[in-house]
Amino acid sequence: MRVNAVVAGVGMTDFGKHFDKSLKWLGGQPVLDAVKDAGIALGDIEAAYVGNCAAGTVTGQESIRGQVILSSIGLGKVPIINIENACGSGSTALNQACMMVSAGYYDVALVVGVEKLFHENKMVTYAAFGGAVDVEVRDQMMAEITAGQPEGSGKNRSMFADFYGVLAREHMEKYGSTVEHFAMVSAKNSFHGSFNPRAQFKNEMTVEEVLAQPVIVDPLTRPMICPIADGGAAAIIVSERKARQLGIKNPVRVVSSVLHSYFDHPEGAEDNVSSMCVEEAYYEAGVTPEDLDHVELHDSSAVTELIAYEGLQLCKPGECVKLLEDGDTKLGGRIPVNTSGGLLRKGHPVGATGLAQLTEMTLQLQGRAGKRQIDGARVALAHNGGGTINGEVAAMNITIVKR
């Protein structure tokens, strides 16, 4: 379906460890900020889509998460739809809001992504991630991927860290990449994150400093794996008619929002859920990879950023390391990637990540990104997926916006 929606306003909390903040605050505050940014009132909102992944496990709040969060700031009556779709929960909520606005059902829709992941008992947090796979085969799968690695997967580290370790070792064997290349990704994103006041980690790190950190899963050190975080982000999505009524200057248009899920296919097949989303998004938006000025991608680890370079067609097959080495993905380069600091430095409050990506893209395209601003940015892409089935992403979202 052709997308015809405009981002009227965005809001976002600081990402980090917020033991003193409730799920309601983390979700409600960015909504109030987004409403103010859009120049509308809460009463103008006609529907709300709330992305959250782990509140049931971490806080005990099930079933009516969005209703509980939004009623705390005075928003009710309207349809409130709760969406859970692994790390792509926020982007999936955005997809649904854009579809309904594009179809003409609503002129003003709210999208929220929120997560409270830190818990005094780390096992509770790790349990939230443990369900993002096929639980019927989880034990056998984990036994295979943790072979030869330190004990403690799912206890003192997320089970997904072990997935990233496997990907890193396979990448090194296939492409000749090195642990220094993974450190270069983390260092680049730390440079970007040092300019983002909302990022969880704002200290810039050198390649040597990244390499000197403890190894979590061979060969990845701590800064090469994204940290969990508490946080929320929100956006007001409106029709073009409403955007004109509001007099929005420099409107950011969502021109493609593609969502697909894992499907069975022969091993080694070229088509998978990620490639399908990428091709469809470029076609739907009427752009090519060469048209992109900015990319926010799902760098759940340093190696997944490198893999995504190729998957998003930012480089030719086999040239992801060269793209990094040439500085093309750093601020000032040909195609800056993760100017927000990415998940590696901004943090990963699962359900909020997709809306945080949209927030960064909107700020960039409107010239509001401060010291991390990309000159003349007009087209941006977000890549946000989550969960794992048979070693592949279970749900993938690709969003493209234009100014």
Enumerate the active-site residues. 87, 348
Q: What is the 3-state secondary structure (H, E, C) of the chain?
A: CCCCEEEEEEEECCCECCCCCCHHHHHHHHHHHHHHHHCCCHHHCCEEEEECCCHHHHCCCCCCHHHHHHHCCCCCCCCEEEECECECHHHHHHHHHHHHHHCCCCCEEEEEEEECCCCCCHHHHHHHHHCCECCCCHHHHHHHHCCCCCCCECCCECHHHHHHHHHHHHHHHHHCCCHHHHHHHHHHHHHHHCCCCCCCCCCCCCHHHHHCCCEEECCEEHHHECCECEEEEEEEEECHHHHHHHCCCCCEEEEEEEEEECCCCCCCCCCCHHHHHHHHHHHHHCCCHHHCCEEECCCCEHHHHHHHHHHCCCCCCCCHHHHHHCCCCCCCCCCCECCCCHHHHHCECHHHHHHHHHHHHHHHHCCCCHHHCCCCCCEEEEEEEEEEECCEEEEEEEEEEEC
Token representation of residue 97: 């809001």
Residue 110: in which H helix or E strand, if any? strand 108-115
